[in-house]
Each structure stands twice: as C-alpha cells, then as structure tokens.
Chains A and B, each alone.
Chain A
Amino acid sequence: MTGFQAWASNLSDLFYRCFIKEDRYKLLVSGIGVTIKVSLLAVVIGILIGMLIAMCNLSKRKPLKLIGGIYTDIIRGTPSVTQLMIIYFVIFATVNLDKWIIASIAFGVNSGAYVSEIIRAGIMSIDKGQTEAGRSLGLNAFQTMTRIVIPQAVKNIFPALCNEFIVLIKETAIVGYVGLMDIQKAGDFIKSATFIAFMPLIGTAIIYYVLIKMLTLLLNRIESSLRKSDVR
C-alpha cells in the first residue's frame, strides 16, 4: 500500500466511524433542523424587538428613549451565553414551553438590540428634507414614516440586516448550553462518542459554512432585486 492509499483508507475509516456507524449522521441532520428552526424564529423575534426598540430610541419621549437605551446597553454589555442561560434557567424556568422556542426568544432578545441599531441608523440616514417634504404636504408623522422614510430606509437596512442574520445563525451554536442538540452539539457529541476530534469538528464547520453560503447567495439575490427599482 502506498502512503496515499493508507491515508485515504484511514480517512474513509474515520468518516465511517464518525458519520455512518450507528447512523451518527442522523444526529447532524436533526441538528441542522434545530439550528435552522431556532435561527428563523429568533430572526423574526429579533426584527420585531428591533423595530420596537428603534422606535423607542428615535422617539422624542424621554422615558421611551431611556428604555431603549438601557435595553441596548445591557444586551451589548453581557455575553450571549449568559443571556441565554438567564432566560432559559431563570426567566423561563417555570414556563412550560419547548426548549427551542425559549432558545429562540433568547437569541431574538439578543439580536433585537443589534437590529434596533441597524434600523435606527437606516432611518437616520434618510435626509431630513424627506420628512419635511412629507409633513409640509400635511401628512402626519406616522404617514411620513411609513410612506416616505421607511421605504427608502429599507434599502439601506437590508444588507446590514442580512449580516446580522448570519451572525445570529453562528451565535446559535451555543444552544448546547441549554441542552438542545443543534449542529455544533451534534458534532461535539460524535466527538465524545468516538474520541475522534478532527472529523466531526471539520464536518460541523463545513455544514455551517454551506448553510451560510446558501443563505448569503439567496439574500444577495433578494438585495439586487431590491436595487432594481433604484434608478440612480
């Protein structure tokens, strides 16, 4: 046997032990499901909270501004693992909800703080003259916001929001801390069961990479179709 053949057969043996034997690949497949499920719900929650907090931050009312400020400050100032564990083991300790939903809420709460900043920056990037033109025509503040400012801000917000979505997916790799079997946890489990580190961890990385690559391509496509109406 040449060196290469030995290396290749060793690799395929590792591959077999890590993924095929005892149907271990199924762990990863269901892990992908968990990661996607948690990320999707979290991104929705994150956007909703983000919009709410952005409204608070942009508001002229002092108490609302204060709430928005404190929220962003706390979320940014503490690690997401800590937030996840507090939400899971303290706040939702006695609430009977699916684990993955609680995890999604935790990630959504975290993401909301960052999304709010993205939305706020996007809205502030629209020239003040646009608001003045809307108001001077007699539109009220809400109409001006929804018909004039937000439609323009969306194009600025979207790319940053995509980036936040990708960060969020990777962030969910810590859900193992509250006992959910996502991609990362599945890889980790295989590592412990087989005492092989290389194959499961590289496998985990590849799965995340492919997942995010596919998402990036999809989001790019949506973004360029958003730009189409942009005759500038």
Chain B
Amino acid sequence: MIKVKNLHKKFDSLTVLDGIDEHITQGEVVVIIGPSGSGKSTFLRCLNLLEDVTEGEIYVDDELINSPKVNVNKIRQKMGMVFQQFNLFPHLTIMENITLAPVLLKKMTKEEAIKKGQELLERVNLSEKADAYPAQLSGGQKQRVAIARALAMNPEIMLFDEPTSALDPEMVGEVLDVMKDLAKSGMTMVIVTHEMGFAREVATRVLFIDQGVVMESGTPEEIFNNPQNERTQLFLSKVL
C-alpha cells in the first residue's frame, strides 16, 4: 500500500531522514516510536507530502507520489491525517468541520456528508456536539472530532502524528479507545506516539526510528520484550 524507498529529508544542512526503506501493507497498524528529534514525525509528514522529500521515492498504491506530475490533492484524499494540535477549524461548527472537505471536493452531497458526519460522531461518542464550536470542546473531544473529520473522506490510510501528546492525561484514554476501535475495523494506520502501552496492544508492527533511520522493526513482542538493537534497548529502558 505504501512503499518508501531510500527516503532522505534535509532541512538546509540538517539531515532529518537518512535513508528509510519501508513497506506498509493493507490492514497493518504500524506504530513508530523513537526519541524526540529522531525524525519520526517528519517521516509521517513526508507520507502525505506535508514535507517535500529531498531524495527517494514514496509509492502509494504503486503510484509514485513525490513527483511533480502527480495531483497531490488527490493523493491526500486517500490519507487521513490527525495532528498533535488537533487543528480543528475554529470558525466552523463540529459538523461543518467534518463535512467541509467531502462536500467541497464533491465526494458527497451535503445531505450525504451530514449523514456520514452523524455516523462518525456517534462512532466517537460525540453526537450531541454536532452544533458546538471547537472552542467549547475539551482536548480529548477535539481530537476525537479530528479523527472523525479525517474519516469523513473515507481514507484508505490514517496517519496519526502524536495524537495524544497535547492532551491532559485523563483524556488520553478516550482518544486511544477510538483509535483501537479503528484498528479493529481493519483500517491501515501509521501512528507516531509515545504511548508504549498502546503500541504494545494495538500495533501489528513497531518501528523504532532514531537518527533518521529505522533502527529496528518487528512485532510488539519482538521490540518490547527482546529488542536486538542497542539503541532500541537504551530507548526502551528510559521510557518503559
């Protein structure tokens, strides 16, 4: 589904990604862990071209996406993105946040989008908030709306960039529950997170990224119980 070949990303002279080769297949829940500044968020942002790639190739459904010939907007419609800071649109109601893109991009009529929106809000347990504005919601509620907003486009892949890092501790659970639910439904997911318990429970595969390369990759059992790489061991000894 997503193939990454020899991905490099430089910010001026600073190398953030130093050659990543990765293959993410349909239905996988890939959790990316690693120290801060290791390049894991950058890697995720490269996948939907929020960062332009310095060198290397990214294929989505066998289509090379980091090429000037490609319609970036079409590619992004296949990939939902959830941000650390939620990034809900404060001037729109919750329902408008969810329906804006599908209606504007003519994926659905307004009625269809609202119906879909109601389903999604139900799924994230926020039906009663449809007419509220983002400012009236708690952090956890905002992030659940953000997930619903991304799902409204019927994406094939969902990308999560530290979705719980900006939340108060007591709200982390409600967001993770929604994500677990999503994983169970068979959605392909790539998640950057510091929630090791969640990674262990939900991931089909864990990637440990450090210094811009994938140091180790494997099932949660392999990574958490029996890490091979020295850096993985060091990192896990600090966070677990």
Q: Which residues of A contact B (CB under 8 A)?
A: 127, 129-130, 132-140, 143, 147-148, 151-152, 229, 231-232
Residue B207 at the A interface, CB < 8 A?
no
B91 touches A133 (CB 8 A): no
Question: In chain A, what residue has the closest Cβ to B45?
Answer: A132
Nearest Cβ in chain A — how far from B170, in angstroms? 23
Query: Which 4 A-B residue pairs are closest in the complex by CB-CB distance?
Result: A138-B77, A133-B87, A136-B81, A137-B101
Could you jot down 30 A-B contacts, CB within 8 Å? A127-B87, A129-B83, A129-B85, A132-B50, A133-B87, A133-B89, A134-B89, A134-B101, A135-B73, A135-B76, A136-B50, A136-B80, A136-B150, A137-B80, A137-B100, A137-B101, A137-B105, A137-B149, A137-B150, A138-B73, A138-B101, A139-B101, A143-B104, A147-B100, A147-B104, A148-B89, A152-B89, A152-B91, A229-B91, A231-B135
Enumerate B36-85 residues with CB–CB distance to A below 8 Å. 48, 50, 73-74, 76-77, 79-81, 83, 85
| Known A133-B83, A143-B104, A231-B136; contact A138-B153, beta-carbon cutoff 8 A | yes
Contact B104 A132 (CB under 8 A): no
A136 interface neighbour in B48, B85, B133, B135, Cβ under 8 Å: B48
B residues adjacent to A (C-beta < 8 A)? 48, 50, 73-74, 76-77, 79-81, 83, 85, 87-91, 100-101, 104-105, 133, 135-136, 146, 149-150, 153
Within 8 Å CB of A127, what residues of B? Answer: 85, 87
Q: How far is the CB of B162 from chain A (nearest CB, A)?
A: 13
Residue of B nearest to A151 (CB): B91
Once A136-B48, A138-B73 are accepted as A-B contacts, the answer to whether A152 and B90 lie under 8 Å apart by CB is yes
Q: Indicate if the CB atoms of A139 and B73 lie closer than 8 Å.
A: yes
- Please state if B83 and A132 are interface contacts (CB–CB under 8 Å): yes
Q: A148-B89, A151-B91, A229-B91 are in contact. Are A138 and B50 (CB under 8 A)?
A: no
A134 to B101, CA, bound (A): 8
Q: Complex formed: what's the CA distance from A135 to B90 in Å? A: 16
B100 touches A232 (CB 8 A): no
Bound Cα distance from A132 to B81, whole angstroms: 9
- 18 further A-B contacts with Cβ under 8 Å, apart from A133-B146, A143-B104, are A129-B83, A129-B87, A130-B89, A132-B81, A134-B101, A135-B73, A136-B48, A136-B79, A136-B83, A137-B77, A137-B81, A138-B101, A139-B101, A140-B73, A148-B89, A151-B91, A231-B136, A232-B90
Q: Closest CB-CB distance, B92 to chain A, in whole Å?
A: 8
Residues in chain A near residue B146, CB distance under 8 A: 133
Tell whether, in the assembled complex, residue B87 and residue A130 are in contact, meaning their CB atoms are under 8 Å apart: yes
Which residues from chain A contact B90 at a C-beta distance below 8 Å?
A: 152, 232
In the complex, the answer to whether A138 meets B91 with C-beta atoms within 8 Å is no
Q: Does A138 lie within 8 Å of B76, measured CB to CB?
A: yes
Partner of B135, one of A140, A147, A232: A232
Query: A229–B136 Cα gap in the complex (Å)?
Result: 13
Do the beta carbons of A231 and B85 come within 8 Å of each other?
Answer: no
Instruction: For A147, list chain B residues within 8 Å (CB).
Output: 100, 104
Chain B's nearest CB lies how many Å from the CB of A23? Answer: 53
- Minimal beta-carbon separation of B186 from chain A (angstroms): 22
CA distance A146 to B81 in the complex (A): 21
B133 surroundings in chain A (CB, below 8 A): 231
Structural contact, A138 and B74, CB atoms closer than 8 A: yes
C-alpha spacing A147/B100, complex, angstroms: 9
Taking CB atoms, residues of chain B closer than 8 Å to A130 are 87, 89
Of all chain B residues, which has the CB nearest A232? B135
Residues of chain B lying within 8 A (CB to CB) of residue A132 = 50, 81, 83, 87
Contacts of A135 in B (CB 8 A): 50, 73, 76
Contacts of B91 in A (CB 8 A): 151-152, 229
Write out the residue numbers on chain B whose beta carbons fall within 8 Å of the beta carbon of A129: 83, 85, 87
